[in-house]
Amino acid sequence: MSTEIKVWQINNGKLEENKTSLVESGRKEAEDLEKWIVSDPNIISQDILIIGEQVQTRSGVIDFLGIDQLGNLLIIELKRDRIPRVALAQAIDYASDVASWEIEKINEICLKLRNQNLEDYLNENFENIDLEDLVINKAQRILLVGFSIEESLQRMIEWLSNTYNVNVNALLLKYFKTKSEDEMLVRTMIIPEEVERERIRGKQFKILMSDEPGNYEDEELKELLIKHLTENRKHLKD
């Protein structure tokens, strides 16, 4: 069963389910969410910074590019409603291109959004970070963001994470407005953050670059992914 967030408000001692949506409240889903994420990425995670928005790859445009305190890049895909299965294949395609990026390209992306070079931005926002020992883009992480998730996609994410230690997760959001007109945004992760954090600090999973843009059929991509994951798992055990 797929994960879903529901909210109840207590009114006069009775529970009332709050089903308010962004659209019903006059909000523009994509625009408002993008603004909130850029201004305060803590809604996504406390250990990442957003360094790029609408970043072009050989296979398409990444909604957001983030970086964590270990220097890993985070591919963030934002969906307006339910996160579909195809979003995972799309994000993996993007990550396979991002894996080949050098520090110069990443620095240019950061300058464009933040008007700061990457080194200064990391120093300013991450406490006690040691840039001399930091390896930028050693590994890639994937985060899919939406308001609900297809059950099959949740199963795939859990399987990739639990079986192969792939750094992939999904963030589910719930917007609601109270009777007093206060607006709230709550979230939950498919893979608990503490579990993901331990895996990231442990074995690193590298998404290898491809020499060709993606445009794979679903079954072809699935076969290639399983083959690569199996080889990677054997390598991690050795």
- Look at residue 2 and tell me if it is in a domain: no
Sequence-distant (≥ 6) Cβ neighbours of residue 234 within 8 angstroms: none
Half-sphere exposure of residue 49: CA atoms within 13 angstroms, side-chain side: 21
Mean pLDDT of the chain: 82
Q: What's the number of domains the chain is made of? A: 1
Domain that holds residue 43: 23-237
Q: What is the pLDDT of residues 140-186, one digit of tens each?
A: 999 999 888 999 999 999 999 988 888 999 999 888 777 777 888 88
- Look at residue 195 and tell me if it is in a domain: yes
- Look at residue 61 and tell me if it is in a domain: yes
- Look at residue 46 and tell me if it is in a domain: yes
Q: What is the pLDDT of residues 12-59, one digit of tens each?
A: 777 777 776 665 655 655 677 888 888 888 888 888 999 999 999 999
Looking at residue 185, its pLDDT comes to 83
We report the CATH number of the domain holding residue 218 as 3.40.1350.10
Look at 63-67, 177-181, 211-215 and tell me which has the smallest mean pLDDT.
211-215
Rounded alpha-carbon distances, angstroms, from residue 215 to 94, 96, 221? 11, 13, 9
Looking at residue 54, its pLDDT comes to 96
- Look at residue 16 and tell me if it is in a domain: no
Looking at residue 109, its pLDDT comes to 98
Question: CA angle 25-26-28, nearest 5°?
Answer: 115
Q: What is the pLDDT of residues 102-142, one digit of tens each?
A: 999 999 999 999 999 999 999 999 988 888 889 999 999 99
For residue 75, which of 53, 58, 105, 47 has the smallest C-alpha distance? Answer: 53
- Look at residue 8 and tell me if it is in a domain: no
For residue 142, which of 74, 201, 58, 42 has the smallest C-alpha distance? Answer: 74
- Look at residue 5 and tell me if it is in a domain: no
How many other CB atoms sit within 10 Å of the CB of residue 49?
A: 20
What's the pTM? 0.78
- Look at residue 15 and tell me if it is in a domain: no
Question: Is the pLDDT assigned to residue 205 strictly greater than 70?
Answer: no
